[in-house]
Amino acid sequence: MKFLQYRFAITMPILILFMTVFQSCRQGQDDRIIGVKIYDHQGSLEELFSEWRDLGINTAFSSLALLSSDEYRLAARENGISMFVIFPVFFNPEALAESPDLYALTHQGAIAKEEWVEFVCPSSEEYRNLMVENARDIIRKYDPDGISIDFIRHFVFWEKVYPDRNPATLPVTCFDSTCLAHFQLETAVSIPDSLTSTAETAGWITENHHNEWTDWRCNLITGMVQEIAEAASEIKPGILINIHLIPWAQEDFNGAIKTVAGQDIPALSQYADFLSPMTYAHMVKREPPWIHSIVKDIYLQTENKIIPSIQVNKAYLDKELDLEEFEESLLEALKPPSGGVVFWSWERLNQEADKKEVLKDIIMN
């Protein structure tokens, strides 16, 4: 009997300790963002949210079109789904169709357009103010829990940039007269009058003032985030800010995350609650462990919560993204220090019952 009491005295504290650790792990898991990007939905909202509950999905990154539906917002609230609005900034085909002079210009003097990817000049004061006003309006009208700032960078069709890409062939923008005027005004640089073509000017800047140019271009992007984040917080104090990042590590393509995309991660993170790299591994010809490597690279620059977004099925390439690759990608995306995962997109995921089962097994267990 005494022996049993002794055993009880030893094992109980161990059991309690184990349960506490287990519970805190579960709580840690519960803090995770399990999100989907959703652009459109036809059919029952009750069924949609009930399925999300089953799958453990707790956050929706919604298009403005969807968020503007009263029924959608109400049903999301009732089901405890956190709602972010996806807010594209410098990608704006409608504005460019209406005012083609808004196009950003490449170092060759061409408009910033490749297939569907087309970008607005990030220096246009009028356009920047319009974006800030749009953010205010959306938050006033639809009261989202968060704003997910997308296309907040310079022009590049990164979805088709593969590991063997020569960095020198990546586009650098914007060399239009607005940007060149602001660049000279806001730095000590003075572009010689003898340079006439855009290509000549771009060559001279790159050759002589590469660092000033890169810093100034990054500031354009960071400044835009700051303006949007401050306006959003004025309308709704405590609103959450997420930023979509190009999935490039600091050293990839000779530092193109800054020199091409203009995304200065430590600077951007000052204004964000979450950073969401678009780690679409299959699309950019990387293996699933690459997803975790990008999360780690960002974590070493900032301790913000990082929520990698992963693709659900193939895009741009013919090769299928099979079940095994999906599962491995999800497991890599969730590895610490990740703060969760965002699936791109619900519409795509919804077509694949077997992938939803894999997701459920991983998220709910």
Q: Is 62 in the site for Zn ion (CB under 5 A)?
A: no
Tokens representing residue 213 in the block: 């140019």
* Binding segment toward Zn ion, per CB under 5 A, in 36-44, 45-53, 59-67, 169-177: 169-177
Q: Is 112 in the site for Zn ion (CB under 5 A)?
A: no
Residue 130 C-beta: closest distance to Zn ion, Å: 15
Cβ distance to Zn ion smaller for residue 123 or 309: 123
Task: Provide the residue type at 334 as one letter.
Answer: L
Burial of 333 (0-12, 13-18, 19+ CB in 10 A): buried
* Binding segment toward Zn ion, per CB under 5 A, in 3-11, 117-125, 189-197, 272-280: 117-125
Q: Is 332 in the site for Zn ion (CB under 5 A)?
A: no
Q: Which ranges constitute the DSSP H helices of the chain?
A: 2-30, 45-55, 64-67, 70-78, 93-98, 125-142, 177-186, 198-208, 210-235, 256-259, 265-269, 289-299, 323-334, 346-349, 353-364
Residue 173 C-beta: closest distance to Zn ion, Å: 7
Using CB under 5 A, which of 34, 48, 121, 161 touches Zn ion?
Answer: 121
Using CB under 5 A, which of 62, 92, 123, 304 touches Zn ion?
Answer: 123
Q: Is residue 309 within 8 Å of residue 348, measured between CB atoms?
A: no
* Binding segment toward Zn ion, per CB under 5 A, in 72-80, 174-182, 190-198, 300-308: 174-182
Tokens 């000279």 belong to: 184
Please state whether 275 falls in left (phi above 0), alpha (psi between -120 and 50) or beta: beta
Residue 105 C-beta: closest distance to Zn ion, Å: 6
Residue 111 C-beta: closest distance to Zn ion, Å: 11
Burial of 127 (0-12, 13-18, 19+ CB in 10 A): buried
Q: Is residue 310 within 8 Å of residue 281, measured between CB atoms?
A: yes
Residue 178 C-beta: closest distance to Zn ion, Å: 5
Q: Is 174 in the site for Zn ion (CB under 5 A)?
A: yes
* Binding segment toward Zn ion, per CB under 5 A, in 45-53, 120-128, 307-315, 317-325: 120-128
Q: Is 310 in the site for Zn ion (CB under 5 A)?
A: no
* Binding segment toward Zn ion, per CB under 5 A, in 28-36, 168-176, 218-226, 235-243: 168-176
Cβ distance to Zn ion smaller for residue 123 or 242: 123
Tokens representing residue 1 in the block: 């009997």
Q: How far is the C-alpha of 90 from the C-alpha of 85, rounded, in Å? A: 16
Cβ distance to Zn ion smaller for residue 57 or 120: 120
Cβ distance to Zn ion smaller for residue 111 or 272: 111
Cβ distance to Zn ion smaller for residue 38 or 121: 121
Kindly state the number of chain residues that form the binding site for Zn ion, as judged by CB under 5 A. Answer: 6
Q: Is 176 in the site for Zn ion (CB under 5 A)?
A: yes
Q: How far is the C-alpha of 242 from the C-alpha of 238, rounded, in Å? A: 13
DSSP 8-state symbol, 255:
T
What SS3 class is residue 325?
helix
Q: How far is the C-alpha of 2 from the C-alpha of 43, rounded, in Å? A: 66
DSSP 8-state symbol, 152:
-
Q: Is 179 in the site for Zn ion (CB under 5 A)?
A: yes
Residue 186 C-beta: closest distance to Zn ion, Å: 13
The footprint of Zn ion (CB under 5 A) covers 121, 123, 174, 176, 178-179
